[in-house]
Every structure is written in C-alpha cells, then in structure tokens.
C-alpha cells in the first residue's frame, strides 16, 4: 500500500508512506531512487541495529558510499538536546553537508530526535523514516512532528519536518516486546475510535493474530491507522483544528504520565484517558452505554488499564490538564467519542462533572 500526504506548500510537497511485508527487501531500491546524488546518514536505534543490522546489511541497505551508520541509544532520557548536538557533530565529522539526508531507523524516540536534527542541520536536510515499533509505524513516524524533551516537560522543543518517505514493514514487529506492542495498540484503538469503525471491528476480532505478529493482519491495521492519520494531517498539518482529534485520550493521558513521573507508559495512559473521555461523554448523554462497554472491553482484552490508581488525586489530574500546552484558552477542552468511529471536540466541561468522572474511575 502507498499513501501520499499532500502538504499545503508552494510548490506542493508530498510525503510518501509505503506499507507492506516486502518493504525490508524494497528499501535499497526505493532509497537509491529517492536519494539521487544525496549521501545518506543512518541514525539507528542501537537495539534495532543489534537485532536487524546484519539482515538488512545483507539485503544491501547500506549502499556504496552512503553506509554511515550512527547508532543511537534510544531511551526517553536520551531524547534531549545533548543527543541532538552529539549526533550533529557525528554528522559534521562524517562529512555530512547540505546535500546529505538522514534516515532514521527505530521507534518514536529515534524518529523524533533524528527528524528534529534533520530539520535544523544546515538549516534543514531531507529525512527518511523507517519506524520499527508499532507506535512509530502508526503514529510518530508519520505526520512530521519532531522534537526533544526538556527536564520541564516532554516534546517542548520541536519542529514540523515532513519525512520525504516512510517505509513501514510489519515484520520489524516480530522482535518487538509485547509491552511495546500494547503501547502501539492503544494508538490503533484511538484511531479506530476517532474515525474507523471497520478498523475497530477488525481489532476486536483479530486479537490473537495481532498478538502473534501475523504480518498480514498487522499490515491491515497499520494501513488503516496511517490512512486515517495522514488524512487528518493533510487537512490540518499544523494542528489548528481537526488534527486535535488525534488527542483523544491524550489530555488525561499526559496528565497521568506526568503525575506518575512517567512510570505509567504512554499507550496505557492514553487507554485510561480514552475511558475517561468515554465515561464523560456517556454522562453527558452523548455516548451510548454499549459503545462505552466496547471501549472498556477492548482495552481490557489488551490488558490496558481502565481505572485510575487511587494514589492519584482527581484535583492533581485537573491541575495537570489545565497546565497542558494543548489547552485552548481557559476552558478545559476534550475530544470525546460519540460513537465508535466518531469523536467531537467539547470545550465546555464543568470541573465538578470532570472530577466526579475521575473519582468514579478510581482517582482519589
Ligand atoms: N512525533 C510524533 O508525532 C509522536 C507521536 C507519538 C509519540 N511520539 C514520541 O514517540 C516516543 C515513543 O515512541 P516508541 O514507543 O516507539 O518508543 P522507543 O523509540 O523508545 O521504542 C521503544 C523500545 O522498543 C525498542 N525497539 C524499537 N524497535 C524495536 C524492534 N523492532 N524490536 C525490538 N525492540 C525495538 C527500542 O529500543 C525501545 O527500547 C515518545 O518520545 C513520544 O513522545 C511522537
Ligand atoms: Zn500518543
């Protein structure tokens, strides 16, 4: 499958996303064509390099003259300016110039850091992404947001820099730990809730196949999720309107991550955040109880938390939500589901009602 994301630039630019079980074999040919005379610098998640390096090297990924591999220790702790500077110096010392390109191979951390570096290196060079976690394949690898964290908060420094091409092969997920797969599944479920009821049903009925990394099944869910995200990004690249729907579950999710010092994982927090949005919507008379039940049970099937730990105070969640950089003005704004496959933005949420919902779901 191939998805073109047309961006409102003059001249118009297209970011191409290729998805399929044969991408690992096709990358060298595709890259050679896309790079032209540019030299390539690879930034690899070092774990992924350890697992896949030999295999892809034997397939000719590191072409003659452009085989510079820079391994990167990809942890959230390393997603910071110091790493960007270090990588930039490796590029300079390796001879990278304005006619070079960066190819990022790894999860969201590698993609965000390498994409950020590409956007500022010598005022910007092209970037290619090869996402290797499910989260990166359905979410962070597409859409062009890049960035690093500050001690004060996540993703506070960043740019929009669309990748030239994205190569997504679900076979990379065969080495991905279950815990990481679950984090990505939370984003898939989110996409389905936002705008794809067919995908929702497919996920509901294909738990086993996804769990055992059946590539055909994974290809389908990745394609559907990417199509949905790319349509939204195409309509609103810089997040002034419809792109905000992608924040479903994230308003409360981010608050839970911050309040637990990131001990709770992103996808898990998004799942709980979606349930909060669902219960709120149900209490506002906008989401049918049956759909709320389906949301809770799909999260439970995937062992995602649907309740808030009692040690987290509802007031603290409300404060954290208010401090979120994505808040609009003074109002608490939420993306809430109105049925499977449809969400709306709701900006008039009463503090009292919000608190009741948080407490009903276990918050202190
Ligand atoms: N740019 C965006 O639009 C966007 C969107 C969502 C999330 N993000 C960012 O993405 C990051 C999270 O991404 P992530 O969940 O991919 O985390 P990650 O990059 O840290 O990867 C998770 C773990 O999986 C390992 N790994 C990666 N691919 C593997 C494979 N194929 N086999 C075995 N292990 C593998 C990594 O080494 C790492 O330990 C966060 O920093 C978040 O802010 C960005
Ligand atoms: Zn997310």
- Provide the pLDDT for residue 168: 97
At a CB cut-off of 8 Å and minimum separation 6, what does 43 contact?
A: 70, 72, 87, 102, 103, 104, 105, 106, 110, 113, 114, 117
How many domains is the chain partitioned into structurally?
2
Report the pLDDT value the prediction gives residue 65, as an integer from 0 to 100: 55
Query: If you measure from the C-alpha of residue 54 to the centroid of ligand 2, how many angstroms do you get, rounded to a whole number?
Result: 31
Q: Whose C-alpha lies nearest to ligand 1, atom 7?
A: 140
> 307: domain range?
177-212+214-364
Asked whether 257 lines ligand 1 (CB < 6 A), one says no
| Ligand 1 within 6 A of CB of 190 | no
Mark whether 96 and 148 lie in a shared domain: yes
pLDDT computed for residue 299 by the predictor: 97
The verdict on 262 and 279 lying in the same domain is yes
The whole-model pTM stands at 0.94
Distance between first and last Cα of the chain? 47
Is 190 found in the same domain as 135? Answer: no
In short, whether 223's Cβ falls inside 6 Å of ligand 1 is no
Q: Which residues contact 350 (CB under 8 A, 6 or more apart)?
A: none
From the CA of 77, the nearest ligand is 1
Q: What is the pLDDT of residue 97?
A: 96
As averages over each run of 10 residues, the pLDDT of the chain (364 residues) reads 75 82 93 92 97 93 74 94 97 95 97 98 97 96 93 91 96 97 98 96 97 96 94 79 88 94 94 97 96 97 96 93 67 89 88 92 92
Q: Are residues 353 and 269 in the same domain?
A: yes
Contact 291, 337 (CB under 8 A): yes
Nearest by Cα to 128 from 103, 108, 106: 103
> The domain that contains 192 carries what CATH number?
1.20.1090.10
CATH number at residue 117: 3.40.50.1970
How far apart CA 167 and CA 31 sit, in angstroms, is 10
**Residues known to be catalytic:** 123, 145, 187, 229, 239, 243, 247, 250, 254, 266
**CA–CA–CA angle 237, 243, 248 (5° rounding):** 150
Considering the domain architecture, whether residues 86 and 233 belong to the same structural domain is answered as no
Helices marked H in 121-211 — which ranges?
A: 134-135, 178-195, 197-205, 207-211
Domain end marker among 175, 197, 232: 175
Predicted pLDDT of residue 64: 62
Tell me, what's the pLDDT at 221? 97
Same domain, 161 and 181: no
pLDDT at 24: 95
Neighbour-count burial for 253-267, b at 16+ CB within 10 Å, e otherwise: bbbbbbbeeeebbbb
Residue 307: in which H helix or E strand, if any?
A: none
Ligand 1 pocket residue status of 132, Cβ below 6 Å: yes
């Amino acid at each position: 499958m191939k998805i073109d994301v047309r961006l409102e630039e003059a001249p118009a630019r297209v970011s191409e996303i290729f998805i399929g079980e044969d991408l690992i074999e096709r990358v060298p040919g595709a890259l050679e064509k896309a790079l032209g005379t540019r030299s390539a610098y690879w930034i690899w998640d070092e774990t992924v390099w350890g697992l896949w390096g030999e295999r892809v090297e034997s397939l000719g990924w590191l072409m003659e003259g452009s085989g510079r591999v820079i391994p990167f220790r990809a942890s959230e702790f390393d997603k910071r300016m110091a790493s960007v500077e270090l990588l930039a110096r490796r590029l300079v010392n390796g001879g990278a110039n304005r006619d070079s390109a960066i190819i990022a191979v790894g999860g969201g951390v590698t993609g965000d850091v390498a994409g950020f570096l590409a956007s500022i290196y010598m005022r910007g060079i092209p970037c290619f992404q090869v996402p290797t976690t499910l989260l990166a394949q359905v979410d962070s690898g597409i859409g062009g947001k890049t960035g690093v964290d500050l001690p004060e908060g996540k993703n506070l420094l960043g740019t929009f820099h669309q990748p030239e091409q994205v190569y997504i092969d679900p076979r990379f997920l065969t080495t991905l730990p279950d815990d990481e797969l679950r984090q990505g599944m939370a984003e898939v479920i989110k996409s389905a809730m936002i705008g794809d009821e067919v995908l929702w049903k497919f996920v509901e009925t294909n738990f086993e196949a996804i769990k055992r990394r059946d590539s055909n099944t994974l290809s389908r869910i990745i394609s559907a999720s990417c199509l949905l995200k790319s349509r939204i990004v195409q309509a609103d690249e810089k997040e002034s309107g419809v792109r905000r729907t992608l924040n479903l579950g994230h308003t409360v999710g981010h608050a839970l991550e911050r309040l637990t010092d990131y001990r709770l994982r992103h996808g898990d927090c998004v799942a709980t955040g979606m349930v909060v949005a669902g219960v709120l919507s149900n209490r506002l008379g906008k989401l049918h109880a049956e759909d709320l039940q389906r949301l809770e049970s799909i999260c439970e099937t995937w062992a995602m938390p649907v309740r808030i730990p009692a040690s987290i105070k509802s007031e603290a969640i409300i404060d954290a939500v208010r401090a979120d950089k994505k808040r609009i003005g003074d109002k608490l704004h939420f993306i809430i589901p109105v049925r499977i496959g449809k969400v709306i933005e709701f900006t008039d949420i009463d503090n009292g009602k919000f608190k009741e919902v948080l407490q009903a779901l276990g918050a202190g």
